[in-house]
Amino acid sequence: MRINRHIETELLRWKNSDNRKPLILRGARQVGKTFTVEQFSKNFKHFITLNLERPRERQLFDNVNSGKELLERILLYKGLQVDEKECLLFIDEIQNSAAAIRSLRYLYEDFQYLRVLAAGSLLEVFSQQEGFSFPVGRVENRFMYPVNFLEYLEYKNPPLANKLLGLDVTDNTGVHDILMDHFYEYAFVGGMPEALCKYLETMSYSPLREVYESIYMGYIEDLEKYSSLARVKYMSHVIDRAPLHAGERVTYEKFGDSSFKSREMKEAFDTLERALIIYRAKPSTSVRLPILEKLRKAPKIFFFDTGLVNFRVGFKEFFKDRQSLSIIYQGRIAEQIVAQEIISKTYQPPALHFWIKEPGEAEVDFLYSYKDLVIPLEIKSGAVGKLKSLFLFMERSDHPYAIRVYSGKNQVDRLPLPSGKTFWLQSIPFYLLPRLDDVIASLTRMSLSPCNSVL
């Protein structure tokens, strides 16, 4: 049994597109890029794979002047004859060769039907080190993230995943506790495929330490390989310290108890965010589209996987009594997992925002774009009357819809504001995050119903 990744559907759309370009599958190390492509290759008669960690296969791209010359070299090297229309060429670990990245342009220009797919990690670090850019207009990009909750559930308990997908998003479910148990398990183990598979094989947390240590060591080794020594120390520091500050607003100057200056730290943050290792949620005062970022205000930082955050923080004991995720680690692990779920809903570069009131200290955890609406998301337990920042947002909003994510059961409230306006707040359990768009769609329909036009 394997973890089915939803991005395979996106890859199929790419395969069947008439205006297809070579595609670069971007993602952090060990999120499952290579395995996913191997599964996807079953849709082709011919599958050619090159791993550019191998020096001999890197050399195939040297001194190439056309896509036809390159493909001929590759076929002779592999001893193959293929039908271009039925072939997938996969270039793995492409960050190891600037020539291979440049060759994507030639393959695009010379072949109409050949599907070319490349994958790599730390591509931005590598491109900065080598001083080149990607062939603009000649390639497409898709972004791959760790396994999300629904992918995990489809792997571990398919009937329960089907139940989740079929739920009426306005009602409570009799399997709330079962779904929450699975979400807590996922929130601790995280979405790295190797760690998830190891845990589900053994049902023990003990073997995971070795997996996580290996992943961390791999990132440091990659940085040392693809970046200058002067920059490695800044990025290594961010990778080491970012999990300890997940869900916090941070400043670059002396980040993580360092003596590093703001400029060097910001450059490290910028690079690692483009490499999909960290995410920054940008503050905004917007209550409608477009969401305008306050670039001089401190962002929130998130690491790319909650399992690695938990490993680095080392607080396994907090999960023993199934405390609310909104309490554990001062609620920041709840924001981390929500950020991860939001990001996994797209195959584009991550974009996270949260709301701030100026002047003042009010803050809403996330802003979520749904059609032409900016929906506020709060990640909090307790009584709805304690959501003061959310109330301030809704006073300014031009729509009456808000979402609270917590460990409790699904419920919808119509709440009064000091101004006399009312708004709809739907409180959803964490396990409904994969169906967030369905929740919002249902909430907007409910508010338009004649029977709900007044309190």
Residue 319 is predicted with a pLDDT of: 54
Mind listing the pLDDT tens digit for each residue in 43-68? Answer: 999 999 999 999 999 999 999 999 99
The residue out of 109, 144, 179 marking a domain boundary is 144
Residue 450 is predicted with a pLDDT of: 47
How does the average pLDDT of the chain come out, rounded?
90
pTM beyond cutoff 0.85: yes
How many domains does the chain fold into?
A: 2
Same domain, residue pair 189 and 304? yes
Same domain, residue pair 115 and 226? no
Residue 455 is predicted with a pLDDT of: 31
Is 74 among the domain residues? yes
Is the predicted pLDDT of residue 122 greater than 70, yes or no?
yes
Is the predicted pLDDT of residue 449 greater than 60, yes or no?
no
Same domain, residue pair 422 and 278? yes
Residue 379 is predicted with a pLDDT of: 93
Per-residue confidence at 315, pLDDT binned at 50, 70, 90? Answer: low
Same domain, residue pair 92 and 189? no
Residue 157, both tokens? 């308990």
Per-residue confidence at 451, pLDDT binned at 50, 70, 90? Answer: very low
Same domain, residue pair 292 and 177? yes
Q: CA dihedral defined by 260, 309, 224, 279, rounded to 10 degrees?
A: -70
Provide the residue range defining the domain that includes 398: 150-452
Is the predicted pLDDT of residue 311 greater than 80, yes or no?
yes
Is 86 among the domain residues? yes
Mind listing the pLDDT tens digit for each residue in 209-248? Answer: 999 999 988 888 888 877 777 788 999 999 999 999 999 9
